């Protein structure tokens, strides 16, 4: 079976509680999960207006592109999508 998916903006749409659930399922140690969550959830963005920092935005979901952890997290979450597709095909709810 081959499925083409649109992964644009996929990094921006991953909810952090979903990432935690994906890491808990195969048995990642809670300390490791907490470290990863701290790395992705302690981000803030500041706007430069006329060369001066103005305002701050703190994201509520997503992982940063370019972060060394991002490919690892994205692959883990992609495995969940793959498993869901396989289960749907086996159960007959999705037919090729």
Domain positions in the chain are 16-86
The answer on pLDDT for 3 being more than 70 is: no
Tell me the whole-structure pTM to 2 decimals. Answer: 0.61
Q: pLDDT: is 5 or 68 the higher one? A: 68
What average pLDDT does the segment 20-44 reach?
87
- What mean pLDDT comes out for the span 57-79? 77
Q: Provide DSSP, the chain.
A: -------TTHHHH--HHHHHHHHHTTT--HHHHHHHHHHHHS--EEEEETTEEEEEE--SS---TT-TTHHHHHHHHHHHHHHHHHHHHHHTSS--
Confidence class of residue 33 from pLDDT cuts 50, 70 and 90? very high
Q: Please check the confidence at residue 64 and state whether its pLDDT lies above 60.
A: yes
């Amino acid at each position: 079976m081959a499925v083409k998916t649109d992964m644009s903006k996929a990094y921006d749409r991953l909810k952090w509680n979903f990432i935690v659930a994906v890491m808990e399922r195969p048995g990642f140690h809670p300390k490791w999960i907490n470290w990863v969550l701290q790395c992705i959830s302690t981000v803030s963005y500041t706007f430069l207006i006329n060369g001066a920092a103005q305002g701050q935005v703190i994201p509520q979901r997503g992982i940063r592109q370019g972060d060394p952890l991002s490919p690892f997290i994205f692959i883990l979450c992609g495995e969940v999508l793959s498993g869901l597709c396989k289960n749907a095909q086996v159960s007959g709810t999705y037919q090729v």
